[in-house]
Amino acid sequence: MTALMRSASLTHYSDLALSVGLVPHDMLAAVGLPRSCFDNTELRIPAASVMRLMELSGETSGEESFGLRLSVTRRLSSFGVVGMLARDEPTLRQALDTLTRYLYLHNESLTTQIHEHGSVTVIEQLLLPSVGAGRQSVELALGALYHTLCLALGKEWQPRSVSFMHPAPANLSWHRSILGSNLLFSQDYNGIALSTSDMDAPLHFADPAMRQQTRQLVRDDLSGKAFNFREEVEQLITAFLPTGRCSADQVAVHLGVDRRTVHRRLEVHGTSFIELLNEIRMEQAQRLMGYGDRKLTDIAGLLGFSSLSAFSRWRRNHALKNADQ
């Protein structure tokens, strides 16, 4: 099944595209998106097409920071009803928990994980490998997260670090002006690190009286959406791979079902857990190795292998299997 996202993700795209010499409608046509994307923020459009649009816009314009520059326009309202719900939570921690839980209503290809390590908390963002996210899409997502944190913590707040899996661009001026100086590239994850104490900061703009009304809007939104089990499993595999604990049992526990249910429901989608695991590993391996500056031992760990030799055996077996098909 195709991962979808709201066309609100293209808000202000036209303005930025025009400013760097692009023709917005021509760019939409190039990736197969309708012109109505610019007029209706509630269309459900393929996430992969939006990712292609972001990468193509950066390549065609020569603007290496296209996605990051677009993120400057993002507000909580950009997330629709999910942003409304997060806005009225009493603390940043609760707002982020709400965004994490319901983000798929805005973008089915993006998940957020929060990891607390003592005095430091890392907010990690994961995009489904199947949508082909590159530099522009990752920086748009991280930039939007950064601006959400600034909204809660104040304009003077600075993260401990902003980490990207891809290499640094040739020119860092936009990154420094938008995200500050604590930038890390060629890292093991895409995310933002902040002080754990920031997580309990109160949201001064929260309106408790609106929370119940907004929750009802979310329930109404949920009632009209079909749950895509395959995409949920793909998201969990992507999230669990770097931990070395990615298994059907682990995914089943997270989904609140047993292992047999996972296998049975994936059969309905014409696939299996091991097929999805191998597909995602191969997509991730090709992307990570394409960066050129990653050690194979690091890539093996990110893909959930216990050793470089295990990774090498898997690559050989997978190559032989593909050659026989």
pLDDT tens by residue, 42-62? 888 999 999 999 999 999 999
**CB-based contact 151:75 (threshold 8 Å):** yes
Q: Kind of pairing, strands 44-46 and 4-6?
A: antiparallel
Question: What burial letters (b/e) apply to 263-291, b meaning 16+ CB within 10 Å?
Answer: eeebeeeeeebeebbeebbbbbbebbeee
Is a pLDDT exceeding 90 seen at residue 265? no
Judge whether residue 31 has pLDDT over 60.
Answer: yes
- Assign residue 158 a region: left if phi > 0, alpha if psi is -120 to 50, beta otherwise? beta
Break the chain into its structural domains and give their ranges: 64-200, 229-324
Q: What is the pLDDT of residue 29?
A: 94
Among 2-11, 166-175, 315-324, the minimum mean pLDDT is found in 315-324
229-324 classified as CATH 3.40.50.40: no
pLDDT at 249: 87
> What pLDDT band is residue 226 in, cutting at 50, 70 and 90?
very low
